[in-house]
Structure 1
């Protein structure tokens, strides 16, 4: 018994440095964010650093820029995830087919995902330019008189940001789905074919049930990543035109480092933290239900 206690104590001492470092780099910043959100830390407006309670949180819900950022964050997340699922599953099914060059295609399809988002965003900024952009150049091959600057109009700029996000991350989503597809035994499809099931029936009766767990799980994680996206907007549109493409994470950066309103930025950070906490709870609940359904 004494040896067991000594072993446990030794184990705790060995992991204590890692726990302290983790606590300092994770718990302490979270605590300070909550703490700062309760104070007037607006340096440009002569913030006194006095305690103002929930005033920063009250200001959030009367701030048009915050509302605009929230609207686009919701649109960006929902639309992006719908197409992630549709295009990702479709691409995974294509990569799962038997054809020459399949391995080469699987490697090359990941190139967009491997590219840093800042690089992809900057390249997209040029690609959507009216005068020398790749997008308009391709359209002019069909319609020579076409002129449109995608990034100076609210709706088209939002569409462009979502399109770049899909181009960047759908391949990775597809590769994860592909891994699930390869665990489905081919004998099941052969049996279904003998029973007279067509490709559509086999897809909905065999493929979808077998990949649903994977798709749901990775969709939750991808949704959380969309909610905290920052780099695509930073590199591509800088939140413009106006604030139409500003995401919540980018709004936090603007308030903290451009407007130097640290208290208000912390309050927005806390709101986003609570949203992510709720999604984490949903994630754990869904995974638990799926495991219970599968008897795990």
Structure 2
């Protein structure tokens, strides 16, 4: 009897709280949450709704705008725009390639930085340098590296007897791979830091137990490291995919979408349509399509990852 009374007492205390206390707590919670909600509404929800509304108009970027409702005309026009869908395919190749290569390179670097090596602290600081540099500065630096005439990359190739006159950013065959390499270099530090934090949370006893059972280095990596980091890998991969697909400044400074549209990412195509061709309504329709497609792909990826984690 006493056990039941003690066990049930917390529930009775919670139920018997004065109504004034509950109301005050709710008000305090609302006051604390309200600034964040207002920022989200003003900076995210409102622009999204405004862009969605513009997608159904013939709005143009002029001094005295006059536009009218055109229904789904922009989307119909967009469906027949082969250049936009070509840029979308390029954007998918860019986003998937950069995201996967970032993950592989960052995993290797994180494992290295997690090892007990000399000057490990200095190496961790140096690994963050690409992340700390502004994208415009990174783009200018890599344009100098890729320069076909005086770039250090071609000079290095020439010193070992390889062709040294490659126009990395001006050739149809090398422009996109060269830009992807820059994207991997820029985004790798963020992924490295995230994976390194996860590695430091894996109990060392787990590796010791696996080693005692006869597991080699690769087996310990696949059986211990990867399962332990799976939630982190899922989250950072999702964020990197969104970030890479929506990237603009890096490619704009490097190639401006050239040569011949070989690096024309969807966001760059949308920017040109909005601010050079001044077709705001049409560009808004492109943005809506991109948001829907990216959210759908990301939802499918997250669903598959969560489903895999639920399996025994």
* Match for residue 248 of structure 1 among 266, 281, 287: 266
| Aligned-partner Cα distance in 1 for 2:38–2:310 | 35
Match for residue 113 of structure 1? 131
Structure 1 residues 145, 64: CA separation in 2 closer, same or farther (over 3 Å shift)? Answer: same
Structure 1 residues 99, 3: CA separation in 2 closer, same or farther (over 3 Å shift)? Answer: closer
Return the offset for 1:286: 6.2
| Aligned-partner Cα distance in 1 for 2:39–2:206 | 50
Match for residue 173 of structure 2? 155
Where do 5+ consecutive residues of structure 1 fail to align? none
* Contact residue 106 and residue 188 of structure 2 kept, 8 A: yes
User: Are 1:188 and 2:213 an aligned pair?
Assistant: no
Return the offset for 1:97: 1.6
* Contact residue 157 and residue 163 of structure 2 kept, 8 A: no
Where do 5+ consecutive residues of structure 2 fail to align? 1-18
Structure 1 residues 171, 2: CA separation in 2 closer, same or farther (over 3 Å shift)? Answer: closer
* Contact residue 77 and residue 223 of structure 1 kept, 8 A: yes
- The secondary structure found in structure 2 opposite 1:267 is helix
* Contact residue 61 and residue 274 of structure 2 kept, 8 A: no
- Alpha carbon RMSD of aligned pairs, Å? 2.6
Return the offset for 1:270: 0.6
- Tell me which moved more, 115-124 or 136-145: 136-145
Match for residue 97 of structure 1? 115
| Aligned-partner Cα distance in 2 for 1:182–1:17 | 34
- The secondary structure found in structure 1 opposite 2:173 is helix
Matches within 5 A, 1:134-173: 134-143=152-161, 146-173=164-191
Return the offset for 1:152: 1.1
| Aligned-partner Cα distance in 2 for 1:266–1:284 | 27
| Aligned-partner Cα distance in 1 for 2:68–2:79 | 21
| Aligned-partner Cα distance in 1 for 2:40–2:94 | 32
Return the offset for 1:285: 4.3
* Contact residue 61 and residue 275 of structure 2 kept, 8 A: no
* Contact residue 179 and residue 251 of structure 2 kept, 8 A: yes
- The secondary structure found in structure 1 opposite 2:269 is helix
User: Are 1:76 and 2:94 an aligned pair?
Assistant: yes
Match for residue 216 of structure 1? 234
Max radius of gyration: which structure?
A: 2
User: Are 1:204 and 2:222 an aligned pair?
Assistant: yes
Return the offset for 1:188: 2.3
Q: Deviations over 1:14-39 (max 9, x none)?
A: 75565445423322211111111111
Return the offset for 1:253: 1.1
* Match for residue 106 of structure 2 among 85, 88, 95: 88
Return the offset for 1:226: 1.1
Match for residue 60 of structure 1? 78
Return the offset for 1:196: 2.3
| Aligned-partner Cα distance in 2 for 1:124–1:133 | 9
| Aligned-partner Cα distance in 2 for 1:13–1:216 | 33
TM value normalised by structure 1: 0.89
- Tell me which moved more, 190-199 or 100-109: 190-199
Structure 1 residues 16, 91: CA separation in 2 closer, same or farther (over 3 Å shift)? Answer: closer
Return the offset for 1:169: 1.1
Q: How many residues align?
A: 293
| Aligned-partner Cα distance in 2 for 1:189–1:17 | 45
